[in-house]
Structure 1
Amino acid sequence: MKKYLLIILSSFFLFSCTESTSNVGKINENEIAEIVSSDDTKDAITYDFLITNGMTFLEINTILNSALSGDRVAVEAGTYNITGELAIKDGISIYGKSEIRPVFTAIESSSTEMLEQYWSSNNSDIEIYGIEFKNIRLNLRYASNTTIKSCVFDYGKRKLGTNKSFTQDAYIQLFETNNILLSENTFKRRQGNSGRGVYIVDCENTEILNNTFGNDNGDEGYFVCSINDNSDGTVIKENIIKRNESWVNLNETDHGIYVHSFNNVTIENNTISGWPTNSSGGSIKLRNGENATIRNNTMSTSGILMYVYGNTPDHPILKNVVIINNNINVAITTTDDIYHGIGYWRDTLEEEFYEESINITENVLPNGNIKISNPINVASFNKNGGGVFKNDIKVINLVSGINNSGND
């Protein structure tokens, strides 16, 4: 049975500007919206400002400059040409007004690379909801308590002459942020314009939940990496990640989820596919950090790589890692390497770089390997319950002395 919601739209802010611009997009204090029919019981949403179809970039920023903390800025369905930096502010919400997402596009104004929104201030306590961004990337620095939800990121241009070492190719980049939520977004990379989805550096308490990267047929899955994480307290959970499996380009491939220089990361209930079984691939790569749980993920085409590299003295060890209840499906192979399942390798003999308390338990790898390679400190690997236990696996190759039992 349909329910009818009466939405009362109000505003309480006056502006000292000309008649032609003072009320651009502003809802009159006494205006009452039409009665809207709905098949659900969600609460009516009120807003303070309205961006209407056909507005210019200047008019959009006039509205954003007028909004104050706590204001809600709704955007009508339509395509808006974004030619510069959107004037966000602390505490505002920007969201699509209807089920049809409004499109913010920079395809024409920034044809050679993505148009960057470089938000290094006035970027906290913000919600961005239900917007489609074309050829636009969001670079948030020092923000806190900000949410980006139900947005679409598509048609990002790769900067000419760059490869996977160029990290400014991510649709969302976070630097020294705290309590950021990225939820229910869709990320797409098109052929000839590969790149990252999300890249976070020196952040705390980021949640990356229920997002989609790529698609089933692969034409939206030209990812260098879906998620790069060099931070503390990150949760990566229930995402669907699909790289174009047939795409072979090692200069533009750098792991599905790549986590390094980290502390306290959780990677749980994700579905990851399409990355190759080589040093540029792996559904998950974990290196040089402490306290990681990789649990209940489903991976296809490749599995989990663990490393300690000698070039990261600030994070010299891989410590307290639990890999449990993952399902890893790789092609049938007799190759004895670290790439076809779960593998560990350290590239240095220097004593300050080592591994400690690595637990690999109850994973299913019907065609895969578990291989732990030298050099390794066996006693340290086994510390605090470390070892390899109860895995369903085709091939197991462990350095002598590593605790293991119940592997079939």
Structure 2
Amino acid sequence: MTDPAEQDLRALFGQSTAVFAALTGAAHVVESASPAFLATVGGDEVRTGVALVDLVPGPAGQALVARLDEVFGTGEPHTGRDVRVVLGADPHAREAFFDFTYEPRRDAAGAVTGILVIGVETTQVKHAQRLTAEHRALLEQIARQAPLADVLDGMARRIEDLAPREVLVSVLLADADGRHLRHGAAPSLPDFYNQAIDGIATGEGVGSCGTAAHRREPVIVTDIATDPFWADFRDLAGQAGLAACWSTPILARDGGLLGTFAMYHRVPRVPQDTDLALTRVFAGTAALAIERHHTEQAQHAAEARASAAHDELAKAVHAERELRAEAEQRAAAEAELNARMRTAATAQAPGRTPSTASSAGAPGAPPPPRSSSPTRGATQRGCAAHVEEALINVRSVFIANEELGGLAAYVAR
């Protein structure tokens, strides 16, 4: 089975056309010629006995005759590379390129009697070279991570330049939900048209692009004026001067919808194999660019989340440090207050003075008189226990007594 990519290449760059003609005399009369030669010089059937200048009128014919005159006069062969020839007449005219060889014909005596013309069309080769160069440039843009809008816009313009007939290219991008299509690139379509279709839904019968996105397969509308898919957009297309639209879904490697690639035409048209091949080639390139863009967006979003998490962690650490410093300051202040309260309680304790407290247990000292008073009994239990009890009493009194200003007012005395 032939590879689809290989089939596309064959369609785009198929066999070139070979032409042949035998001319005689200084007037370059056509003695014999292949049909391809007559098509090349503008004829529609084999005509012999006619001077070439009559078959190819105008500047192109004059240039060709001048070259033949030179070969006939000098007897030296000549090869022309990529000679530009316009084949056919408007509106079916097309540009073509040929490699021509002009070989003198001689009689038995060696005199030049005519010229053999052999040509090979190089149009496909030339187009292949251009396509290869343009495609390489697009891939380089993608590799350099150029903005997606720039890549798609450049791709659309390149296709419009490469196409043998006028074509207007559009790329629509799928929303994250895959249910709507957004404007991606359409450099040659009118702004009002691009704005009108921006955000269209995907679904059966929603124009060429909406239907292609829904079906996940190409949708070819050759005549917008009569196709039911365009019932809701027919007037809009008429205002934009559009008569045909071929749309191809742009799919990710996993089959997900990335967007659509459309080729519009000014007149009703049926696609040729070369058109479809060109569409597939660049739809694949668009998929590569869009997927690369999505990957970059996901990476940037992940980096932004990581940066935000890092900032929040830094704030939390800073807040924890501030809370810890504040707690340490409060602990130090409480310790200082406790020490001052102990000192104040000791100084205000009733009963025994430090001297009596210290002499209470001296050797040989008379025992203190006993008393039935609870206060006196309590003080006789020792200075340390008394200080603790007094501290509790002082705290309670001063905290409860608003007239005295509370504990802080007392400590500040």
Same fold (TM over 0.5): no
Answer with 1 or 2: which has the greater Rg. 2
Going by fraction, where is helix more abundant, 1 or 2? Answer: 2
Higher relative contact order (CA 8 A, sep 6+): 2
Going by fraction, where is strand more abundant, 1 or 2? Answer: 1
The TM-score normalised by the length of structure 2 is 0.21
The TM-score normalised by the length of structure 1 is 0.21
